[in-house]
Chain A
Amino acid sequence: MEQRLANTWRFTVNERKFIETALLSDLRVDGRRPFDYRNLTVNFGKEDGSAEVQMGHTHVMGFVTAQLVQPYRDRPNEGSLSIFTEFSPMGDPSFEPGRPGESAVELGRVVDRGLRESRAVDTESLCVLPGRWVWAIRIDLHILDNGGNLLDAANIAALAALMTFRRPECSLGGEDGQEVIVHPPEEKEPLPLILHHLPIAVTFAFFANENSVAIDPTHHEEAVMGGRMTTTLNANGDICAIQKAGGEGVLQSVIMQCLRIASVKAGDITEKIKKAVDSFNTHTALKKIKRHPSSIPMDVDGADSKLREKQKSLVDKKATIPCPSENVVRETKSLDQ
């Protein structure tokens, strides 16, 4: 509660009035129209499963990590997904260090509802040994800068991090086949998570006067708004979660209109995230090619011979292909005899 108050205190009556009256003529402080989203940039860290999202001044980082744990008793063959939020005091003066405040809890819960309860991540594929070992996926969301609409940014950061995350491959071994062997990434290629769909959070701000609505509110607009609604949809237009926790009442028709707008925005944002993830993936793939064949830069002069060798091996391979069929023929012959 104190956080919210700290936010409003910095505002003068004139500033409030300015934002409200500008909205009446469909203008916003940062030059957007009421239903324009801010520019979204998604960056990725060096390691898998870390993403950094920037939307205007808002800056959120998402990290995904995995750990082998015992499953919950009521779901022995499902992995788990948990979300933790960290509102760093450097992000906003009203964030206090220590226990997560109300807004941090709300943010975590809404992201959780969108991702986990809509079953976006396939938890059954995270099972290694039913009842014994499953992967527990942990998403950490760090708010680095609060420029408003943390929820959407955090949701995108969580998604982007999940999409690039790779968990080490495991296999069962030992005498009784109950021992879990975790293969290091050098040995076996780590596996990506299975995401069924991408739930995108889109937030609307409602203002007291004349039922003004604005999408993706900035920090200033958040201080003025009377109510907020976050809708989580995927690109197919399925609604995964809605959160409108009190505040200014809105008409049913306005909610339906917001949902329609949100489904369009969700499509756009999905495209953007996918594009960013794709370019990251190709980038890492290229890096790998550079790392392994150290021979390429070395045998510049011997390239010809190498090529010949390669071709030879190819030819050899081709030659081996008919072999099995010959064997088969021989076998059938022996059978005939």
Chain B
Amino acid sequence: MEFVSPEGLRLDGRRPTEMRQIRAELGAVAKADGSAVFEMGNTKVVAAVYGPREVQNRSQQLSDQALVRCEYSMANFSTGDRMRKPKGDRRSTEISLVIRQTMEACIMTHLMPRSQIDIFVQVLQADGGTRSACINAATLALADAGIPMHDLVTSCSAGYLNSTPLLDLNYVEDSARGPDVTVGILPKLDKVTLLQRISCRLCMTDTTGEYKGIRISTRWINYNEG
């Protein structure tokens, strides 16, 4: 299938290194301490943060830092074919773990010992790049909750199809089973905190190309949020 037209445009009319439209909204969930809705094109994610609050399960309490928990879920209506997915399947368990560890690294957990921060992320519409949208939403929700952080994590995905590096894949491009990479960056420290790559045989040099595109994009996200 042709993902990049001879004119250099993608299926949805974007240029290879162009992102989708981004929209962020804070305070979407009234009850939560912090919340955000984040949209990247048709991908829509809502995140809610509760805490820092008392640890619910005393045995998990940490005396020197805050306990961060994260739960990721996908709404049944988020994908094209509506189906009931069992809660806690392998994929969502892994993404929960990834989001938790990413957030844990940027939250100043040592300032809030013996307390707990809960992050709930739900995908409302999935159109590729849910992982990065979730991380962006979680960061915004944490910022909205006023939780002290070292930096705001920003994330974006990229892929390689028709021998062109493409930024911010949508569902059609994502399901083409080409190599793709999700990167999470701490822009102020200029460090990579999240890096996940799924690929079918690609050499190293291509990574750098993708990588640069992502860095530009993350700067851009940051600028928009600021």
Contacts and interface: CB of A to CB of B under 8 A. Distances in A.
Contacts of B216: none
Interface residues of A, number: 39
Interface in A216-247: 226-227, 229, 234, 236-247
Contact of A102 (B91, B97, B194, B195): B97
Contact of A249 (B192, B197, B207, B215): B192
Contacts of A234: 201
A20 B191 CA distance: 21
Nearest to B193: A249
B204 A259 contact: yes
Contacts of B202: 238-239
Contact of B189 (A5, A240, A249): A249
Nearest to B68: A1
Given A2-B60, A246-B193, A255-B195, A240 B201 contact: yes
Interface string B129-158: 000000000000000000000000000000
B186 interface: yes
A239 B97 contact: no
Interface in A74-124: 102, 105-106, 108-109, 113, 117-119
Contacts of A259: 204, 207
B190 A108 contact: no
A5 B59 CA distance: 11
B117 interface: no
A2 B62 CA distance: 11
B56 interface: no
Interface in A176-207: 197
B62 A5 contact: yes
Contacts of B99: 246
Nearest to B181: A242
Interface string B86-107: 0000110110111111111100
Interface of B: 60, 62, 67, 69, 90-91, 93-94, 96-105, 177, 181, 184, 186, 189-204, 207-208, 211, 215
30 contacts: A1-B60, A105-B94, A109-B90, A117-B177, A117-B198, A227-B105, A227-B193, A237-B204, A238-B201, A239-B204, A240-B200, A241-B198, A242-B181, A243-B196, A244-B194, A245-B194, A246-B98, A246-B100, A246-B101, A247-B193, A248-B193, A249-B189, A250-B191, A250-B193, A251-B190, A252-B192, A252-B215, A255-B192, A255-B195, A263-B204
